[in-house]
Amino acid sequence: MYVRASFTSLYQASSQADAMRSNRRDHPRENTGELAELIIDLTGRTIACLVHNISDGGAMVETSVNLLPKRVILN
């Protein structure tokens, strides 16, 4: 069975899903796309990261490291 969907309808469905997800958030997000560093321990060791978005509740970052501590400081 094949299902046909136009790019427009997929885009609209994706946009609606994004809007629904964003409405559930406690804090509004701000898209950044900025490079930053994560301070990962008390000695001041850092890991480079890309900040995709940030809010008062946290941030979505991308790093080359698979495992991070539970708490980090975004610098």
Three-class SS of residue 22? helix
Does residue 13 fall inside a structural domain?
A: yes
Domain range spanning residue 59?
A: 7-74
Helix, strand or coil, per DSSP, at residue 35: strand
Q: Measured on CA atoms in the order 47, 53, 59, 64, is the torsion positive or negative?
A: negative
pLDDT-above-70 percentage for the chain:
67
Contact indicator for 40, 47 with CB cutoff of 8 Å: yes
Q: What is the total count of domains within the chain?
A: 1
Q: Is residue 2 domain-resident?
A: no
What is the reported pLDDT for 3?
45
29-64 residue pLDDT tens: 889 899 999 999 889 899 999 999 988 888 889 999
pTM for this predicted structure: 0.61
pLDDT at 49: 93
Helix, strand, coil abundance in the chain, percent, nearest 5: 25, 35, 40
